[in-house]
Amino acid sequence: MRQKSPISIAWFSALASAAALSWFGLAGCQRDGAKGSEASPAPSGAASAAPAPDKKKARARGPDLHDDRFDAKIAENLPKVPDPKITGPDNPGAPLDNQVFRDRVLGFARKIVAIEKEGESVACDIPVTSSKQFRAVVWGYREGVQVARGESSDASLCVALKEATRRAVAAGGGTKDALGTTRLAIELPDHGMSILEHGDKGLELDHGLVPLRSFDKALLTKRIDEGQAYLLRVLDAEHKGAHKYYYAPADTFEPELHTIYTASTGFTLLKLHAMKKDKGLLDQTKKAAEFLLSMQSRDERDHTAGGFFYTLDLKRGKPERKLVVGTASKTVFTLLELHALTKETKYMDAARKAGDWLISMQLPTGAVRASLSQHEGGPWSVQAKESTLYTGQVLSALSRLHRATKDTKYLDAAATTAMFLAQKVEKNGCYVGDEYRKPNPISSSWLVLSLLDFAKSTGDKRIEDLVFRCSRDLLGRQWKRPEDAYRHGRWKGSLSSSGTGWLAEVMSEVFMFCRDKGKENCDGYKDAVVAAVRQIMQYTYGAENDFVVKNPKAAAGGVFWSVRERYVRTDSVCHAMNAYINILPFLADGALLELPEMPLSQRLAFDADADDKNAEAEDRAGGGEGEAEDEAPMSRAEDPNEEGVRKGPRRGPLNGKPEEGPRPRLPKGLRPPGPRGPRPPGPPPEMQQ
């Protein structure tokens, strides 16, 4: 529900013409003529000798907790920061709209930063007043680190901005150059607006994202090139295996290489090779494949031959004694593509061995055992809990093996698993979960893709009908809120960029299959992909939104996990790229999607908190994954976290414990709605600088 604050909407309407612009609240602005003489309430971020807020009460207040990290610096340096007099503008300039407003807010803050001497004056061309006071917060970022913060409140926006900026300058050192090399983020948290500095422009911020309100094929092609460069950087220079996590704020990788993410990276590089005919991409994939082959078990004595070890510990130089069916399945995908392209028998041999191992992991019901794991020198233990995600991956791998080899043993095994999944749909519907999690869109989309792979192998009309039935069910669970750039395009109950990317990839496969079959209404799947692609691209590091990372060049093209967690997980990039490449040939010229921005008058009067609460409730009703977002992570032995699952970096001896000390407080405009939940692990201590 949209609730209006007491700001005058009629006054904003008068701004439609420049001639109507007048100096509102000038008398109020003159209150700043002498330091400390303002009649407005004391700025909430001001330094003072008052006792620190009670911690117990502060915790109860939640996200609006007062940020006191810079109070000491502000108290020390504020007296030497010039306090300019605010004057009216020389001319009214362009009428205020969202972009003009953002540019002027940033321009005014930069004027305050540049003041050198006491007694100077600054013209303010954003004469906005409101009976609901403006709370302004000015942040400074340098190399991804918050280095300054100032906050103030006043009925005059100019006064609030001036005082908040002065305090930010004081927090940064108190000199003219204190914020000279920083990037500013300015928020009006009580009015639901946040602005990010980018050159001399003010960018819109929405829950920590720079919204992408329109895009075309040219931008999508650019994102493909950037994603390709990122994936090539993920491959380890020595081993050619892929890292799973890139901690962009710290500019570090975790000290292990993952078989499945190497396979996923190789699979995407092959799609890029097919698109661009670049032999270099094939060469890189073949090098990565050598890492894959080195990670395959060849031990016939313990019945692990054919499985692939989960990770390579770069410190010990040894693979982790764990074989996961999802790892083997996704590796089969890549090996089959490589064999089809190169005809080298080693790839097919490895794929067949993996397929045989997957069959050995099947249960009589058609479900599959998730993994085998072993402590050094001990017996192998089986994780037998049923995962729809893993079961689907195995069905896809066996179906693709049959198409490539025509060997009926793979088809027979696939048929058993396909029947298991079909029965699950008949019993519970298309929206499925498993013994790990409640019904959710990721598990449901793996069911769709695996049945699609089986349908391609058999031509079974009943399975085809099930694929389209369950795909339509997923279409109905996608966010369709053009007025909400933060959510529009993702799926309810799937909160990560990897989840959105995976669903986009699946929908692109369904779209192409629908076209090949000559079905009607195929464009619904394409439209879903286009909406998801826009969503993913605003989670992609680029010049506009790299203010929170240490090394922007290294992060470029990486798709960060979420607004709250800014690391890049390799599968987020792979899924996004696969969807981009699949859908690109079917897109028209011109703008593919446009989301209008709310008019300024409504924007400043919009109750964003109330809207977020309504949307959160709807999102939690959309899937179990969303409901579990703030729960503690599963143990690594239980969590089938291969693809599209929201869990962050694992705890354990390789990744170390979570960082110590207080968690940085984010501006309201730089964080998602809802509770924070537990803090996930960060980089190992030795990687934290």
Which ranges in 406-488 belong to alpha helices (H)?
408-428, 441-458, 461-475
Calpha distance 428→417 (Å, rounded)? 16
The token pair at 274 is 């097919």
| Crossing angle of helices 217-234 and 259-276, rounded to 10° | 140
Which three-class secondary structure state does DSSP give residue 306? Answer: coil
Q: Where does residue 668 rank: exposed (0-12), middle (13-18), buried (19+ CB within 10 A)?
A: buried
Q: Are 167 and 151 in contact (CB under 8 A)?
A: yes
Count other Cβ atoms within 10 Å, centred on residue 680.
Answer: 17
Using a 10 angstrom Cβ sphere, with 0-12 exposed, 13-18 middle and 19 or more buried, the burial of residue 346 is middle
Which of 536, 530, 524 has its CA nearest to residue 591?
A: 530
- Which residues pair with residue 368 across a beta bridge? 362
The tokens describing 433, both together, are 């979960």
The pLDDT assigned to 88 comes to 83
> What is the pLDDT at residue 6?
32
Phi, psi of 655 (to 5 degrees): -100, -10
DSSP state of 588: P
Report the pLDDT value the prediction gives residue 447, as an integer from 0 to 100: 97
Question: Which H or E run contains 499?
Answer: helix 497-516
> For strand 214-215 and strand 145-156, is the pairing parallel, antiparallel, or unpaired?
unpaired
**Length of the chain in residues, anyone?**
689
The list of the chain residues with pLDDT below 50 reads 1-65, 623-665, 674-689
Q: What is the pLDDT of residues 627-641, one digit of tens each?
A: 222 222 223 333 444
pLDDT of residue 2: 36
For residue 621, the model assigns a pLDDT of: 62
At residue 671, the pLDDT reads 53
CA 387 from chain centre, in angstroms, equals 24
Show Cβ contacts of residue 171 under 8 Å, excluding neighbours closer than 6 positions. Answer: 70, 73, 74, 77, 140, 147, 148, 149, 150
Q: What is residue 323's three-state secondary structure?
A: strand
Q: What is the DSSP string of 347-398?
A: HHHHHHHHHHHHHHTB-TTS-B--EEEE-TTS-EEEE----HHHHHHHHHHH
* pTM for the full predicted model: 0.84
d(CA 530, CA 508): 9
- Specify the pLDDT at position 95: 78
- pLDDT at position 102: 96
Q: Which pLDDT value is given to residue 41?
A: 30
